[in-house]
Amino acid sequence: MEKSSLKDEDTTSTAEGQVLPGSDTATRMPPSLRTLSAEDYNTLHTKIVRKIDTLILPTIGILYILNYIDRQNLASAKLQGIMDDLHMSTADFATAVSILFVGYLPFQIPSNLLITKIPRPGMYICLAVVVWGCISASTAAVKTYEQLLAVRAVLGAAEAVFFPGAIYYLSAWYTKAELGKRIAALYIAQQVGNAFGGLFAAAILQLDGAHGIAGWQWLFIIEGAATVGIGTVCALVMPEFPHNSRILSPLERDLAVWRIESEAGAAEGSEDVPLLRGFVNALKDAKLLLLILANMLSQVQGSIANYFPTLVSSLGFGETVSLLLTAPPYILAGGIYYGIMYYSDVKNTVYPLIMGCVGITVVMYIIPMATLNVGARYFSMMILPFASVGPQLLLYKTINLHLARPVSKRAAASALVNAIGGTSNIWASYLYYDEPRFLAAFGTLLGAGVALAVTVTVYRWVVRRENRRLDGGKADEVEKVIKNGVTREMVGLGWRYEMY
């Protein structure tokens, strides 16, 4: 592989992992690509990556912004009287937050298995966006606490399609050296949603009382309507899978598919493994259990997003100022996310980055428990969004590269990790009481951070053991690796567990 071409390519979109004509793996390359020179191959490769970056990333990013705005607007509504209007206690509000995940979590697995068999996954995702926009807008009509619970549960079921589906969808288009920065882009969009969601909410809540409608009701109406409209437009833009995409020429489709096949032995559209078998394969992989536990511990820490306006308001600021102060931490997080994932892609590493984030969070959890100084507490809140959620980006990259094949297994694994790991959001919602120190919440998050470091270290030992078995080349040892989730095609390509 020509190092100079890879270096040049990385200034736009990294080309690491591609297989150039003339290499050993090129014997399996489609005939349409074998006649290309290295220069023509690189040019076509760059064109494809730029094209899918231009269409896929902005579209997915916009939808993820809407996803987080619609999910987190209840926290903003809390500051504008929804608890008084619906006669809710603090425990009632925690239940209203957590019940979304009761609907959200179980529907992720069947949805992500289904998306592997849908010819137009982009349309499927956008349809879910329109549905949850309608449900979110209908929250404005609730008159009782019980009605709010029902709407939130249904909203969770509709939103279940998006996140695991989007991660799987990106992994169908991008190589292992490209995926990290694209997942970072998705999380940057999440932080934009968190940041500008608070600013947007502060503006909308100024309508309180207009036309006899409360500010929190305007919040759901306007944001829900915007989601429906934007989701409809995005449905016209989202491309299909690489093998049947209408935005690519036949030659570009061949290369788009080959980019994935050359890394993992197969690509979307070239496998015919039943959904149930892929699901069972995922359950039989011991590494999946460790990744589920790691993601659960990581999502416990990420639960601060559900209560971030409340945490900021505990500093003693008014409602509007508290919403405005939620923006800077998320803006900072977005920039650092990209830096973390860019470094991860370039250096092909994950483990030290996860450990670094954990080390930072442990210190940041101690600060609000130890002092009431406003400056120190807000400093910790500036750091926590990126440090507490950062490991999730790296774990999703791990899932989609370490549990890559068959396709249905990767889809099932991604959904299982997110669904089971996300159960922590249900019980974590009840930790945020006893202002201003929030001892139960921050103490639990600190413990989860330490446990995450231990779990990821154990996972590192497991995958490095599997690599030693592959490197040894003994038939019985290689068979153990195959039994643990690596396909024979991947072994033939010289595939190894990387980044740890």
Strand partners, 349: 499
> Which tens digit of pLDDT belongs to each residue from 273-326?
556 676 777 777 778 889 889 989 998 888 887 777 778 888 888 777 877 788
> Which tens digit of pLDDT belongs to each residue from 231-260?
999 988 888 888 878 888 889 888 888 887
Global confidence as pTM: 0.69
Name all domains of the chain by residue range, CATH numbers in brackets: 3-492 (1.20.1250.20)
Helices 145-159, 38-78: inter-axial angle, 10-degree rounding: 180
> Which tens digit of pLDDT belongs to each residue from 468-492?
988 888 888 888 887 777 777 778 7
Q: Give me the count of residues in the chain.
A: 500
Place of tokens 């068999």: 117
> For residues 219 and 216, what is the distance between their CA atoms, to the nearest angstrom?
5
**What is the mean predicted confidence (pLDDT) over 139-155?**
92
For residue 375, what are its two tokens? Answer: 């400056």
Instruction: Count CB-CB contacts under 10 A for residue 257.
Output: 23
> Which tens digit of pLDDT belongs to each residue from 299-308?
888 888 777 7
Helices 162-173, 374-402: inter-axial angle, 10-degree rounding: 60
Q: Rounded to whole angstroms, what are the CA distances from 232 to 130, 224, 398?
A: 7, 13, 32
Q: Are 312 and 78 in contact (CB under 8 A)?
A: no
Q: Are 361 and 387 in contact (CB under 8 A)?
A: yes
